[in-house]
Protein backbone atom coordinates (compact mmCIF):
# COMPACT_ATOMS: atom_id res chain seq x y z
CA UNK A 1 0.00 0.00 0.00
CA UNK A 2 2.84 2.40 0.79
CA UNK A 3 4.34 1.88 -2.66
CA UNK A 4 1.08 2.91 -4.33
CA UNK A 5 1.02 6.20 -2.43
CA UNK A 6 4.71 6.76 -3.19
CA UNK A 7 4.12 6.18 -6.90
CA UNK A 8 1.19 8.61 -6.81
CA UNK A 9 3.38 11.31 -5.28
CA UNK A 10 6.13 10.65 -7.84
CA UNK A 11 3.59 11.26 -10.61
CA UNK A 12 2.33 14.45 -8.99
CA UNK A 13 5.93 15.64 -8.53
CA UNK A 14 6.47 15.24 -12.28
CA UNK A 15 8.98 12.40 -12.02
CA UNK A 16 6.72 10.05 -13.99
CA UNK A 17 3.71 10.52 -16.27
CA UNK A 18 2.03 7.15 -15.72
CA UNK A 19 2.43 3.94 -13.75
CA UNK A 20 1.21 0.37 -13.62
CA UNK A 21 0.80 -1.27 -10.22
CA UNK A 22 0.13 -4.89 -9.30
CA UNK A 23 -1.00 -6.69 -6.18
CA UNK A 24 -2.94 -9.91 -5.67
CA UNK A 25 -6.24 -8.55 -6.95
CA UNK A 26 -5.28 -5.02 -8.02
CA UNK A 27 -7.87 -3.64 -5.62
CA UNK A 28 -5.55 -2.76 -2.74
CA UNK A 29 -3.07 -0.74 -4.77
CA UNK A 30 -5.94 0.99 -6.57
CA UNK A 31 -7.50 2.07 -3.27
CA UNK A 32 -4.13 3.21 -1.90
CA UNK A 33 -3.19 5.19 -5.00
CA UNK A 34 -6.60 6.87 -5.12
CA UNK A 35 -6.09 8.17 -1.57
CA UNK A 36 -3.45 10.55 -2.98
CA UNK A 37 -5.29 13.79 -3.88
CA UNK A 38 -5.02 14.44 -7.61
CA UNK A 39 -4.32 10.84 -8.59
CA UNK A 40 -6.70 8.80 -10.72
CA UNK A 41 -6.02 5.07 -10.54
CA UNK A 42 -8.20 2.50 -12.30
CA UNK A 43 -8.44 -1.24 -11.76
CA UNK A 44 -8.22 -2.90 -15.17
CA UNK A 45 -9.03 -6.47 -16.11
CA UNK A 46 -9.20 -6.34 -19.91
CA UNK A 47 -8.10 -4.14 -22.80
CA UNK A 48 -11.43 -2.30 -22.95
CA UNK A 49 -11.25 -1.22 -19.29
CA UNK A 50 -7.66 -0.08 -19.89
CA UNK A 51 -8.62 1.99 -22.94
CA UNK A 52 -11.55 3.57 -21.10
CA UNK A 53 -9.36 4.31 -18.07
CA UNK A 54 -7.20 6.47 -20.33
CA UNK A 55 -9.78 7.86 -22.75
CA UNK A 56 -12.69 8.56 -20.39
CA UNK A 57 -11.02 8.97 -17.00
CA UNK A 58 -7.49 10.20 -17.79
CA UNK A 59 -6.10 7.67 -15.29
CA UNK A 60 -2.44 8.21 -14.50
CA UNK A 61 -2.22 4.75 -12.93
CA UNK A 62 -3.73 1.43 -13.84
CA UNK A 63 -3.73 -1.53 -11.51
CA UNK A 64 -3.99 -5.24 -12.15
CA UNK A 65 -4.35 -8.38 -10.09
CA UNK A 66 -1.49 -10.85 -10.43
CA UNK A 67 -3.75 -13.62 -9.11
CA UNK A 68 -6.57 -12.63 -11.46
CA UNK A 69 -4.97 -12.24 -14.88
CA UNK A 70 -2.06 -13.93 -16.62
CA UNK A 71 1.10 -12.35 -17.99
CA UNK A 72 -0.03 -12.23 -21.62
CA UNK A 73 -3.29 -10.48 -20.76
CA UNK A 74 -1.41 -8.09 -18.46
CA UNK A 75 0.88 -7.15 -21.35
CA UNK A 76 -2.11 -6.60 -23.66
CA UNK A 77 -3.79 -4.43 -21.02
CA UNK A 78 -0.63 -2.35 -20.54
CA UNK A 79 -0.19 -1.93 -24.30
CA UNK A 80 -3.83 -0.85 -24.75
CA UNK A 81 -3.57 1.70 -21.94
CA UNK A 82 -0.25 3.13 -23.11
CA UNK A 83 -1.60 3.50 -26.65
CA UNK A 84 -4.69 5.41 -25.48
CA UNK A 85 -4.99 9.11 -24.70
CA UNK A 86 -7.60 11.18 -22.88
CA UNK A 87 -10.44 12.30 -25.15
For 63, phi and psi rounded to 5 degrees? Answer: -125, 155
Of the pLDDT bands very low, low, confident and very high (cuts 50, 70, 90), residue 17 is very high
**Annotated domain spans of the chain:** 2-69
Of the pLDDT bands very low, low, confident and very high (cuts 50, 70, 90), residue 1 is low
Catalytic residue among 4, 7, 21, 23: 23
Q: Does domain 2-69 have CATH number 3.40.1400.10?
A: yes
pLDDT at 6 over 90: yes
Active site residue 23: yes
pLDDT value of position 31: 98
Q: How far apart are CA 87 and CA 54, in angstroms?
A: 8
Q: What is the mean pLDDT of residues 58-73?
A: 98
pLDDT at 72 over 90: yes
Q: How far apart are CA 34 and CA 59, in angstroms?
A: 10
Average pLDDT taken over every residue of the chain: 98
Amino acid sequence: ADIAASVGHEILDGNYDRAILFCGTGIGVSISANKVPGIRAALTHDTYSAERAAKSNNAQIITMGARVIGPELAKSIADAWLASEFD
